[in-house]
Each structure stands twice: as C-alpha cells, then as structure tokens.
Structure 1
Amino acid sequence: MKNLNSILVIIMVCVLNTAPIFGQTTAKKNKIIADSETAKSEFIKSDPLMKALFDKAYGYAIFPNVGKGGLGIGGAAGNGVVYEQNKRIGMAKLSQVSIGFQAGGQAYREVIFFESKNEMDRFKESRFEFSAQASAVAVTEGASANVKYTNGVMVFTMQKGGLMYEESIGGQQFKFNKL
C-alpha cells in the first residue's frame, strides 16, 4: 500500500507538471482569459467590496477553474491570467500536491492579490509558493471588508462545485509565462 501511495504521488507530480501553460494554443489562452474576466465579475458580484481590491492592488492573478481532489493524497491544478497595475501581462499555472486528511473533489476559483511590486516580481519569477499553513478567504458578501494583506498577499476562493473536506491552499506552486 505504501508503494502504491508513493507511485500515486509521483504520477500526480508528473501530470501536474507535464502540461505547462507555455504550450497552450491561442484558443485555449483566449478561453482562460474570458473565463478569468467572468470569474472577476463573479467575485465582485458575490462581494461588491472586492471591486476596490481589484482596482487598488498592485497586481493580481485569477485562476477561474481550479480542480482539486484527493483521498489521503491529493492534488490541484489550474491555469490563470496575471495582471499588473490592471494590465494583462501573462498567464500562470497553479499546481499543488498534498498528503494528509482530505477526501473528495471540488472545483473553485481563486484570486491572489499582490500589495506591491516586490510580491508581484516574486510571482513573475516563479519563486512564489504558499506555505503549508496558508489559507484563503471564501468569498461571501462582505467577506473582503476586514481582510488584510499577509506578507503582501491576499487570497480569495469561490466554490464552483463538488465537496471536499479540506480548505488549505498550502503547498500551491505557480509558474508564470509572460504574454
């Protein structure tokens, strides 16, 4: 059983890293961009106060379709669009492998706000990763009212479907590709 779990982890890591955003077709990129605009609208619709976050953040990355699943060993993956000073500058890939108490599957949206150029640059250099203890705020009306940046970053998620017992974003890694 232990060998099977090890093999599953290796397979998940390979799968999450073999479909990098760098080889995406124009049609796929355009779909991700359109989905990101829809996701931004949905975030603001769910919590109108988020409009100010989008307007004032130095930059942000929107992942409109993140799929996550696991049973003891889990993983997540998604593609998104990166904005700096409200201008689209690139695409990004999110990947995550986790081990621990978790069961189920879900689809969600994620937006990461960057408070300053320093955090944005770390993300663009693909040196950005969430620690194991990182967590996100689930978007509901008014959820953004009292949220503050932590280490220059603020993260929100919005459930799209599915059910999963686990709410951490720890271990997420990102790869950036300039447009």
Structure 2
Amino acid sequence: MKILTFLLTLSLLAFLPDSSNAASAQEIDAKVNQALKEFYHHSPAGKELASKAAGVLVFPDVIKAGIGIGGEYGEGALRVGGKTAAYYNVASASVGFQLGAQIKSEVLLFMSREALDKFQKSDGWEAGVDGSVALVTVGAGGKIDSNTVQQPIIGFIFSNKGLMYNLSIEGSKITLIDR
C-alpha cells in the first residue's frame, strides 16, 4: 500500500505547477473574486448560505487530468469576514479508467466556527477524513435541500460555464501555502 501511495504521489507531481508558475496572492484573490461572482450568479441560495458562513474557501481553478493515473491541483483562498485569511492548495491522485482533463471551481462553506477552527488548526486537511463535506446539487428554482443547509461544511462544485454538477471531493487534501 505504501508503494502505491508513493507512486500516486509521484504521478501527481507531474500536474503541480513549479514555483515559477505559482500564482501570486493578488492573482489568487482576483480569481477567487471572479469565481465567487459566478457562484453567486448561478446560485442565489449559495450566496445566502455564504453570507451566513464562518468561512468560505474558494478554489477557482482546480485542474484535473489523467491517463489511467490522474491527479488534480488548484490554489485558492479562505475568506473570513469577507477578507482573505490564508491561501491553500487542493490536491488528489487517483487510479482507474480515466482519460482527459477538466477545470472546475470548488467552494467550501464552513457553516460553524467550530468547523472552521478545526480546518484552520489542521496540518493538511483531507475531505472525508478530517471533515465530512455535504456536496450540494441545486434543484429546480435554485432550492437547496434543507438537510444539507444544516451540515457543518457545505461544498459546491461548478464549471466555468455555470452548470452545477455533483462530483466528489473525498480524498482531496487541502494544505496551507505561503503567498
């Protein structure tokens, strides 16, 4: 199992940008602002939830690619009180039948101060292990299931075309980065 994990990690490194291509804090903030604008436009219910959240973590461009072995990577910002509190990256690796690439945006809403504190105090946070994320599929009329809105962490995944779709973020590791 350790060998498989090592090989997956190595394969993921091929998808990570080198430091010369890493986004600056200003570039990440600009992309986060644009992603939030698109998110709020396509999900008024998501905008209302975000206004009630203790923290909003936004990954505007998560790139996923694979040929048998795949990986994904993206950089984003945690907003607390409407201001950037820290920068993070999200990464994962997978094995199985896969071919292609896609770009998606992810928004995680920490609905309680306790959930946000646990996330901020972690040394690398993994969805599904360190915290359960209730992924939202927006229904007819933009309504969100009432059971979902009571969860401590709510996630939205959408494309730059604005179409909401339900994908998994389980196993994605989120790590603090210095910008």
TM-score over 0.5 for the alignment? yes
The unaligned stretches of length 5 or more in structure 2 are: none
Deviations 1:20-79 (A, max 9, x none): xxx789972101101100100100111122221111001110000100012332111000
Residue 76 of structure 1 is aligned with which of 65, 72, 75? 72
Q: Contact 1:98–1:171 at 8 Å: present in 2 too?
A: no
Matched residues, percent identical?
A: 27
Change beyond 3 A, Cα 1:68–1:57: same
Residue 98 of structure 2 is aligned with which of 90, 98, 102? 102
Q: Which amino acid aligns with 2:77?
A: V
Q: Does 1:128 align with 2:115?
A: no
CA displacement at 1:127 relative to structure 2:
4.4
Q: Which amino acid aligns with 2:11?
A: M
The unaligned stretches of length 5 or more in structure 1 are: none
Change beyond 3 A, Cα 1:87–1:24: farther
Q: Contact 2:109–2:155 at 8 Å: present in 1 too?
A: yes
2: CA distance, partners of 1:26 / 1:70: 21
CA displacement at 1:134 relative to structure 2:
6.3
The correspondence of residues 1-179 of structure 1 with structure 2, limited to 5 A, is: 9-15=8-14, 28-124=24-120, 125-131=122-128, 136-137=135-136, 142-143=141-142, 145-146=144-145, 148-149=148-149, 152-160=152-160, 167-177=167-177
2: CA distance, partners of 1:154 / 1:95: 19
State TM-score, norm by structure 1.
0.76
Secondary structure, in 3 states, of the residue corresponding to 1:77? strand
State TM-score, norm by structure 2.
0.76
Q: Contact 1:43–1:139 at 8 Å: present in 2 too?
A: no
Change beyond 3 A, Cα 1:177–1:35: same
Q: Contact 1:134–1:168 at 8 Å: present in 2 too?
A: no
CA RMSD of aligned residues (A): 3.4
Q: Contact 1:89–1:178 at 8 Å: present in 2 too?
A: no
Change beyond 3 A, Cα 1:17–1:150: farther
Is 96-105 or 23-32 further displaced after alignment? 23-32
CA displacement at 1:14 relative to structure 2:
3.7
Secondary structure, in 3 states, of the residue corresponding to 1:160? coil
Secondary structure, in 3 states, of the residue corresponding to 2:24? helix
